[in-house]
């Protein structure tokens, strides 16, 4: 018989802890009837009854929870599901790909410009004229 009492006591404590976590993490608009501090005190002083009261009367039910939609609010028949994280959003992923390609092209262009500049510096240092394809249009060799 003592084991049963211990089990019921532990169940009551677990229920009270769950109710406290639910109460403290609820948004302001989801709390009904009393202010949050009152619900916390009720749950702490009357763990079993306070926890049950919180779950049945103290919070708004959301559509995903058992019990249906909250009273007084009409839900649209079809809502577009919003991505949970940016990497779930196809538009965000597409923009990342475009930005990556654009950044890569810019980087390659800068590398090529730097390579041409270094090759010209080495040719000038060695006394060779710049290559024909690198010379600006309209310029004469040796100028």
**pLDDT score, position 16:** 94
Does residue 137 fall inside a structural domain?
Answer: no
Does residue 40 fall inside a structural domain?
Answer: yes
Look up residue 68 and give its two tokens.
């249906």
Global pTM reads 0.44
CA-wise closest residue to 63 among 79, 84, 39, 83: 79
Going by C-beta distance under 8 Å and a sequence separation of 6 or more, which residues neighbour residue 74? Answer: none
143 — pLDDT class (breaks 50, 70, 90) = very low
Does residue 77 fall inside a structural domain?
Answer: no
Does residue 76 fall inside a structural domain?
Answer: no
**pLDDT score, position 137:** 59
Q: Is the pLDDT of residue 23 over 80?
A: yes
Structurally, how many domains does the chain consist of?
Answer: 2
**pLDDT score, position 88:** 76
Phi, psi of 109 (to 5 degrees): -60, -45
Are residues 90 and 53 part of one domain?
no
Does residue 53 fall inside a structural domain?
Answer: yes
Domain boundary among 41, 58, 75: 58
Does residue 48 fall inside a structural domain?
Answer: yes
Does residue 34 fall inside a structural domain?
Answer: yes
Q: Is the pLDDT of residue 117 over 80?
A: yes
Domain boundary among 58, 75, 98: 58
What's the domain range around 103?
A: 86-131
What is the Cα–Cα distance from 27 to 60, expressed in whole angstroms? 10
More confident residue, 70 or 92: 92
Counting residues of the chain whose pLDDT is more than 90, the rounded percentage is: 41
**pLDDT score, position 68:** 46
Does residue 140 fall inside a structural domain?
Answer: no
State the SS3 of the chain: CHHHHHHHHHHHHHHHHHHHHHHHHCCHHHECCCCHHHHHHHHHHCHHHHHHHHHHHHECCCCCCCCCCCCCCCCCCCCCCCCCCHHHCHHHHHHHHHHHHHHHHHHHHHHHHHHHHHHHHHHHHHCCCCCHHHCCCCCCCCC
pLDDT digits (tens, 9 = 90+) for 28-85: 888 888 899 999 999 999 999 999 999 998 887 665 555 544 454 554 555 666 666 7
Q: Is the pLDDT of residue 89 over 60?
A: yes
């Amino acid at each position: 018989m003592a084991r049963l009492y211990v089990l019921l006591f532990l169940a009551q404590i677990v229920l009270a802890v769950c109710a406290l976590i639910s109460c403290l993490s609820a948004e302001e608009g989801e709390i009904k009837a009393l202010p949050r501090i009152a619900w916390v005190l009720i749950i702490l002083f009357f763990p079993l009854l306070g926890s049950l009261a919180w779950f049945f009367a103290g919070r708004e039910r959301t559509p995903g929870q058992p019990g249906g939609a909250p009273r007084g609010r009409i839900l649209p028949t079809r809502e577009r599901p919003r991505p949970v994280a940016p990497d779930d959003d196809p538009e965000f992923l597409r923009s990342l790909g475009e930005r990556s390609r654009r950044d890569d092209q810019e980087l390659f262009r800068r590398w090529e410009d730097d390579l041409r500049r270094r090759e010209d510096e080495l040719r000038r240092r060695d006394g060779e004229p710049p290559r024909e394809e690198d010379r600006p249009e309209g310029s004469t060799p040796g100028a």
